[in-house]
Structure 1
């Protein structure tokens, strides 16, 4: 072989020609600068956000620095903030705020009177079934039981298992009962958490740390549908994960499995599917995601926070659904909220793992603290023992038979409402509802106008975006006699009026949702959300403190 024509020699000769005649300090400077520049370019190109997204943000930030633009944005945000604050004022107009700690403790009677005043604020009849989701069950006898159980356990804390071993026993029993409902074998384990968000956060932590230890993954990524719960985005922000969001099919509203597969790479620590998702109530193809998990040796999490305590009873209730639990060999973990269709008080949820090796990475362990070796199974250190006890009590109260009957009633009501809505002109149903959520859109008019019209009739529904829509989450409250029929009648009568002027734009507060979707600068939308959250803590300071 001609050594001169060898590719490596060509490169060597090229480099030598570049440095020919250069002094040593020049060679060192050029080499160092080239390496630093190369690393900077690589880091710039391969950041979590794409070049396009970063470019947009840069442009928007520059535009917002223009005095007239900045002033206009600040003015609009101030207007939005005042709108939210006015809503708070209207809601609490017949009450006063306590701004200072009472000089002397109030009597029990005074405290209970003030409690009743606060609980009576608000106009929506959630007990009558006019609210989507939020409250999943209401029964005076159950509340009486829960109150007594919580009263006995309100000051207990499972952080001290030596003091309260019974709490640990109750938590273990809840986890085992739930594992059996999702067809887990004797190795399936888990924990009770404060809600779906914590369950999801812990699952993401567990598989991030598992990926680090087992596969030496330093830049962990999770692959999720765009419809997955926003708690995964929150977990990513907390845990430094990169989220690859995969679009859903515009007909089925299930995640695109082919695109899902393409997103898997050597940094993937977790694949996620919803059973069902929150926006549309559709279920991803968990079986297909499970197969991808097995093929690429990546854990799979099934988010059943919303409907888990329906899916595990639906077959026995006469409404079989595709497999979405531990019977699928690729499923590594499942989250299911007991405080939804488990009908336990807020807030409790269960996170399950196929085996202990995953749960071990959920734990937070500190070995060198002067206060001793510290271990915590969940986000919190101290946890309310009362929440564990009432969760346990509620499960025992219903039993399998009670849950099957409740599931049968809820699914029957959901299908009844879905069938009625499909018959109405002017609206359509997103995909095929899998459990208890029915999502509605329109190609004929601004769907948020229907939200406003139903609100005027007393209904409180959930708003969707990208595309615009609304949904109703059917709970046990909606199975009360006449509620489903009232909903269908109110939708029908509202549609008749709306279709008289289909081109009319949406007005009032609902217009804000439409505008928010059209804003390319999502940071402004985030600012609007912050003003709304601020309003939750707003107190009209003109009120005098009660003592």
Structure 2
């Protein structure tokens, strides 16, 4: 597998907006040509097979994968993470470990918990440093056992935009012979370009010998349509544990690389088109624009006396809280002004996620102005904590029986499928 040359891209020097007319038209045209294709039948749709292989190759190159690096496309970050969990579970079982265990920071994406539940693996959550919000390496080392099948680090984590000490996790993995997975689902199309964009980072990819796999979402900052991600491996031997094959089925030999059987070839084709359309130069430009915005928002948040930034944001997310008022009420005030900020817990905070839309003229200035105004209002006349998000999250924090929350989420999900006809 040689390197794939995609650096030229169809970039004319502009920073493309993912909702721009030219990209929208390209995606529409490509999907129209490929909507009925299915990579399950690679012999029938060789073009789609080639596009998927090239998307994987492009991403391997981004993360400095060697000639044996490989991977597959998936339908999103959760599936990419579940596939890595499956690969390392099966690898561990093959090596005689009857009860494999995952070690992941408490801040790691919930998809690792989902994968553990689906695959019958135990997951152990490693504490973090309460100041930096990065995983506690000493605690991770203490928690490794002969059953540990994978170590996890985020680059960055969804909640606080902080990158775990990947080099130190890699060294642990090497020392103990445990594969390390880097979850770059959120930042996968930012962090490989940040050095060229003027924001160098410590190593986080296959240049670290202990890093054995990486998950990366093309449908986030890669600007591909929703429903595409990649999971990458250092060697094919890891990917082989991800594959599924049933050679004795009466319907013939059935083999699939991921969870799905039939897959949407149109999503593979549009992902390929987006990557080639931007090219490396396009992604460097979009990365610089997005990180510039995130750094600007972080600075402005630090200048608002009633707000405190959580940890040290390194990529596109800025999380903040307050000791002077209920931070969830601030989120409610911002939503009334047209801004949606994710509400987080442990600790209670909300976060801003920089996107291409924020790079348009005047947008981030309006956000900062609204945030400052809303924070001042909160200091002068904080709303009752029995209202809005403050009431919801305050109630959730006070519930000691967490199974009740599961019942509440079941009810919520039920409602999302209610047509109102019964």
Match of 2:48 in 1: 167
Asked if the contact 2:171/2:210 (under 8 Å) is kept, the reply is: yes
Indicate the residue corresponding to 1:101 in structure 2: none
Which of 209, 226, 230 aligns to 2:90? It is 209
Asked if the contact 1:137/1:475 (under 8 Å) is kept, the reply is no
- Aligned-pair CA distance for 1:508: 2.4
Structure-1 residue corresponding to 2:310: 430
Separation of aligned partners in 2, 1:490 and 1:440: 15
In structure 1, the partner of 2:226 is: 346
Specify the alignment match of 2:12 in structure 1: none
Deviation at 1:540, TM superposition (A): 2.3
Question: Per-residue displacement from partner, 1:38-60 (whole Å, max 9, x unpaired)?
Answer: xxxxxxxxxxxxxxxxxxxxxxx
Q: Report the Cα distance in structure 1 between the residues aligned to 2:312 and 2:318, rounded to whole angstroms.
A: 8
Q: In structure 1, which of residues 361, 375, 380 is the aligned counterpart of residue 255 of structure 2?
A: 375
* 8 A Cα contact 2:103 2:148, kept in partner: yes
Q: Deviations over 1:158-207 (max 9, x none)?
A: 11111011111111111111100101111100001000000001000001
Change (3 A) 1:382 1:169: same
Whole-angstrom CA distance in 2 between matches of 1:464 and 1:423: 22
Q: Could you tell me whether the CA contact under 8 Å between 2:329 and 2:388 is conserved in 1?
A: no
Superposed displacement of residue 510, structure 1: 3.9
Quote the residue 1:223 is aligned against. Answer: 103
- Residue 6 of structure 1 is matched in structure 2 by none
Q: Secondary structure at the match of 1:145?
A: helix
User: RMSD in angstroms over aligned alpha carbons?
Assistant: 1.1
Report what 1:176 is aligned to. 57
- Tell me by how many angstroms 1:284 deviates: 0.3
Aligned pairs (5 A) from 1:119-518: 137-214=18-95, 216-502=96-382, 504-518=384-398
1:502: how far off? 4.8
* Counterparts of 2:254 and 2:419, CA distance in 1: 39
1:427, 1:441 within 8 Å by CA — same for their partners in 2? yes
Q: TM-score, normalised by structure 2?
A: 0.95
Q: Is the 8 A contact 1:444 1:502 kept in 2?
A: no
Larger radius of gyration: 1
Return the offset for 1:532.
Answer: 1.5
Q: CA deviation at 1:504?
A: 4.4
The answer on whether the counterparts of 1:445 and 1:504 sit within 8 Å (CA) in structure 2 is no
SS at match of 1:175: helix
Q: Which runs of 5+ in 2 are unaligned?
A: 1-16
Q: How far did residue 503 of structure 1 move?
A: 8.2
* Deviation by residue 1:48-85 (Cα, 9 ceiling, x = unmatched): xxxxxxxxxxxxxxxxxxxxxxxxxxxxxxxxxxxxxx
Distance 1:509 1:531, change over 3 A: farther
Q: Distance in 2 between matches of 1:160 and 1:141?
A: 31
Residue 154 of structure 1 deviates from its aligned partner by 0.3
Give the distance between the partners of 1:263 and 1:503, measured in 2 at CA.
Answer: 43
Q: 1:519 aligns with which of 399, 410, 421?
A: 399
> Residues 363 and 375 of structure 1 are in contact (CA less than 8 Å); yes or no, is this contact kept in structure 2?
yes
Q: Secondary structure at the match of 1:397?
A: helix
Q: How many residues align?
A: 406
Find the aligned partners of 1:363 and 1:267 in 2 and give their Cα distance.
Answer: 22
Alignment check: 8 A CA contact 2:328 2:389 kept:
no
Tell me, which stretches of 5 or more residues in structure 1 are unaligned?
A: 1-135, 543-547
Structure whose residues are more often helix by fraction = 1
The answer to whether the 8 A contact 2:329-2:383 is kept is no
Structure-2 change in CA distance of 1:510 and 1:536 (3 Å)? farther
Distance 1:485 1:478 in 2: 9
Q: So what's the TM-score if we normalise by structure 1?
A: 0.73
Q: Distance in 2 between matches of 1:218 and 1:324?
A: 30
- Measured after TM superposition, the shift of residue 509 of structure 1 is 4.4
* SS across alignment from 1:361: helix
Shift of 1:483: 1.0
Question: Which stretch has the larger CA shift, 528-537 or 379-388?
Answer: 528-537
